[in-house]
Amino acid sequence: MIGADAPREWSLDLPTGRIAGLRAGEPGAPRVLALHGWLDNAASFVPLAAHLHGLDLVCPDFPGHGRSAHLQPGADYSFAAAVHSVLDIADGLGWERFAVLGHSMGAGIGSLVAAACPDRIDRFVAIEALGALAETPDRTVQRLREAVAATRALQHKRLRVFPDIASATRARMQANALSEPIARLLVERGLVPVEGGYIWSSDPRLTLPTMLRTTEEQVRDLVAGITCPTRVLFADPAQPYLPDALRRERAALLPCGDLRILAGGHHLHMEDPAAVADAIGDFLSR
């Protein structure tokens, strides 16, 4: 919540399908679009929202996540498509300019939006990601083959049915090293009831490998193109896929950015929201 008000349900109809989410704060305050991580949902920002004040904070479920609609068959859950989802959401809100607050995948997508549309992004807070996951050129063919094979095989896979919310929460706790209350926030928004229990509401296509990734050189050019004031927050210890030295090198490329390292895990904005809010300070409301 922001102030005394809990986040309220919010939705928007786009040509690609319904976008659901949460909204907190007051219209007329500085506009912030909060972008969650991979297989998370808008509830990712509920703990942090209670510590952020004076904002109009909109937290959408990305397409295929949470309570938002899945993309049509044959559509692609690529970062490029997600960039247009962010812009479509902003357009639907009537926001010409706004700030972005992103976590993990959301910070990666936010990086692309900030670099591609400098005329629309006022400020950017990136938590636990900056730029995109890179790939070495010599893995291009291997990644392509694996992604195509996984995509063709997906139609034959059956979804896991959880007998109750508690068992789904335990599975999420094990997968992401989350505490029970934090995992439950994400799980309760990320399940749909079926005969015999519950299944994840997220589109199974989201679990497919990315067919093509950018190189590290391309990622560095992307980060260097983020011209808006940017604050980057990373957890200590670093994630294996983004070692500390590399993330510091990327952050140093920002024309107008600063880097802050906080003790915690990958979901530190949920597990220790007060510390993350302190690190953000008034950056988003200036």
Residue 237 · residue 245 · CB < 8 Å: no
Task: Report how far apart, in Å, the C-alpha atoms of 30 and of each of 34, 105, 200 are.
Answer: 13, 23, 34
In contact, 267 and 173? CB cutoff 8 Å: no
Residue type, 75: A
Spatial separation of the C-alpha atoms in residues 45 and 241, rounded to whole Å = 23
Instruction: Provide the token pair at 268.
Output: 């530190």
| Separation between Cα atoms, residue 92 and residue 97, nearest integer Å | 12
84: Cβ–Cβ under 8 A, 6 or more apart, which residues?
Answer: none
- Pair of tokens at residue 267: 């979901």
Give the active site residues.
104
Q: Residue 171 contacts by C-beta under 8 Å, 6 or more apart in sequence?
A: 162
Task: Tell which residue, 97, 56, 88, has the closest CA to residue 69.
Answer: 88
Q: Encoding tokens for residue 151? A: 């995509």
Query: Are 283 and 229 spatial neighbours (Cβ–Cβ below 8 Å)?
Result: yes
What distance lies between CA 138 and its chain's CA centroid? 28
Ramachandran angles phi, psi of 130, nearest 5°: -155, 125
